[in-house]
Structure 1
Amino acid sequence: MSGSKQTGSRMTRGEESPDVREAPARVNIARASITRVYDALLGGKDNFQVDRDMMARFLSLDPGFVRVVQDRRDFIMRATRYLAGQLGVCQFLDVGATLPEKDNPHDVAQRLNREATMVYVSMDPGVLAHGRAQVADNDRTHMVEADFRNPQQLVEHPVVAKHLNFDEPVAVFVVSTLQHVRPESDPAGILAGYVDLLAPGSYVVFGHWYDPGAEDPGLSELAHDLNDVYRDAGVGAWPRSRAEIEGMLTGLELLDPGLAILADWWPDGPRLHQLARSQHLALGAVGVKR
């Protein structure tokens, strides 16, 4: 995400950013960060050599892996345009915020609905530092440091409670977050916690890493190989079956086309290129609470 106004301290994506630059406070540049790896894959400059090394491992398994990260971003943006522009949603909560881009969900929502308020949630020091600098002049966009795995505590956070009214519809983005929650921490229960707290007419924008299992052994092997890269970098990740992912969406009525490959959720136009193998492993859906 990025702010509506640029500040002088924020490097743009066209600037050089050698690893010797000063990193934001508390940022660990000795260990890869998923948000910084995604930034590198998208051509950003807010990353370090350890992140680029992890990116190289992903690309060695599938040169098209960069398109998975693009799919994630594009899916969120398309869903935001639909919710803010077509349905008039004016409250948004993103519990998996990533590093700022040139155009971001709050930019899209606020262009289409001037009353739209966005709250981003992260525990990544880099995301928080860059995000807060970018939205400092935007009184309808806010950054919160909180653990998304505790929905009740997050909703009661002073900043969240001040700017979002959960007695009215809210759109919650839970994209590529629960795949990093271990099974014993009950990822389905975490999502159910958010759904329980939402008012009728609220929406959940959801994405998760998919393991097709015996349905496609080759893709399943790729899912686990990619997963090994996450784990070798100290980042837990658990791809799940379609049945497990569908089970997480209990209590929501899925909008057409239901649970689909991210690239196939209302694309902006006809497909010009064959999907990369890893693109088949990223599923998403938008559901409404009735």
Structure 2
Amino acid sequence: MREELAGADDLGVDAVDVTVPSVSRMYDHYLGGKDNYAVDREAVAALDRKVPGTRALALDNRSFLRRVVHVLTREYGVRQFIDHGSGLPTQDNVHQVAQRVDSGARVVYVDNDPIVLAHGRALLEENARTAVMRADMRDTDAIFDSPEVGRLIDRGEPVALLFVSVMHCLPDSCDPAALVRRVMARVPSGSFIALNQLVSLDAETRDFVTDFMGRSTQGQWGRVREPHEVAGYFAGLDVLDPGLVEITGWRPDSDLCCRHTDDVWFEYGGVARKR
């Protein structure tokens, strides 16, 4: 991708300010993608110098997403997903995992990054059972009342709501727990939510990463939290086994899978069902 402000023009989207790192593009770089700029790679390098192992967190997170979608599709019969804060397309996107189980599975991707919108539309233009929309994941009414959701999501059937590694992008003033309550109120009983975010047991790490990312991304960040705060998001929901865990421990593909052993910071969460 060209390293210039007009680089988005070829994609038919608004100009992108490549002087400011993007959380989505930093994540893309961690996953080995090519849709990122020098400023994103520099931010990644600076973060890694203080808290090594961040790339492993990104890879663990992507693996968790694949397992969640596969389990919900195969074991629980879910056939429709809304992926909030989906990020840039990469290998094994939600629709690809779900449609390997059932080709009729439907997915709406939601993100507020114009580059995500452009690349998502390019990827999905030949897949009638998917859509990508540009929206703030906090704007529940705009998402659920959108043409994309109206076309693909059957309001009478259970739906899986995905908030995978995005809640740390929301400051406390946005009340992430209230967001969970809003989205769950818009879906029928038997629906699911998959949610995880970065946490740390170490106050210095929480403060450093929160401050670093807040300054680097100019407001695209919220806070690294503690596990008990994430647990609060699941109040009133039935959490699936094995409960809320460090995500490499959520239904691993085998006992030989690598587990995240660094408790300085890690991704924490799980999957729950609406009663």
Q: Same fold (TM over 0.5)?
A: yes
1:200 aligns with 2:189: yes
CA distance in 1, matches of 2:117, 2:259: 36
SS in 2 for 1:256: coil
How many correspondences in the alignment? 268
Q: Distance in 1 between matches of 2:174 and 2:110?
A: 19
Aligned match of 1:19: 3
**Distance (Å, rounded) in 2 between the aligned partners of 1:152 and 1:122:** 15
- 1:101 corresponds, among 73, 87, 90, to 90
How many Å separate the matches in 2 of 1:275 and 1:105? 23
**Code of the aligned partner of 1:236:** W
1:255 to 221, 237, 240: 240
The structure 1 residue matched to 2:163, chosen from 151, 157, 174, is 174
Counterpart of 1:37 in structure 2 is 26
Equivalent position of 2:46 in the other structure: 57
| Structure 1 equivalent of residue 210 of structure 2 | 227
Q: Which residue of 1 aligns with 2:63?
A: 74
Identity of aligned residues (%): 33
Q: CA deviation at 1:79?
A: 0.3
SS of the residue 1:22 aligns to: helix
Give the 3-state SS of the residue equivalent to 1:162 in structure 2.
Answer: helix
For structure 1, list consecutive stretches of 5 or more residues without a partner in the other structure.
1-16, 213-218
Does 2:267 match 1:282?
Answer: yes
Give the letter for the 1:19 counterpart.
Answer: E
Aligned partners of 1:224, 1:61: CA distance in 2, in Å?
Answer: 12
Matched, 1:46 2:29: no
Q: Does 1:245 align with 2:230?
A: yes
Assess if the C-alpha contact under 8 Å between 2:248 and 2:258 holds in 1: no
Is this contact kept in 2: 1:54–1:229, CA < 8 A? no
What is the CA distance between 1:171 and its match in structure 2? Answer: 0.4
**Aligned residue in 2 for 1:146:** 135
Determine which of 235, 250, 259 is the counterpart of 1:265: 250
Change over 3 Å in CA distance of 1:148–1:18 after alignment to 2 = closer
Q: Is the 8 A contact 2:66 2:92 kept in 1?
A: no
Task: Name the SS of the counterpart of 1:190 in structure 2.
Answer: helix
Distance in 2 separating the partners of 1:272 and 1:248: 28
**Residue pair 2:200, 2:264 contacting (<8 A) in 1 also:** no
1:110 CA drift (Å): 0.5
SS across alignment from 1:98? coil
| 3-state SS in 1 of match to 2:53 | helix
Deviation per residue, 1:40-65 (Å, 9 max, x gap): 11111110000001100121123311
**Displacement, 1:128?**
0.4
1:116 pairs with 105, 111, 116, which one?
Answer: 105
CA spacing shift, 1:159–1:92, aligned 2, 3 Å: same
TM-score by length of 2: 0.91
* Pairwise CA distance, 1:119: 0.4
Which residue type is aligned with residue 128 of structure 1? L
Structure 2, gaps ≥5 residues long: none
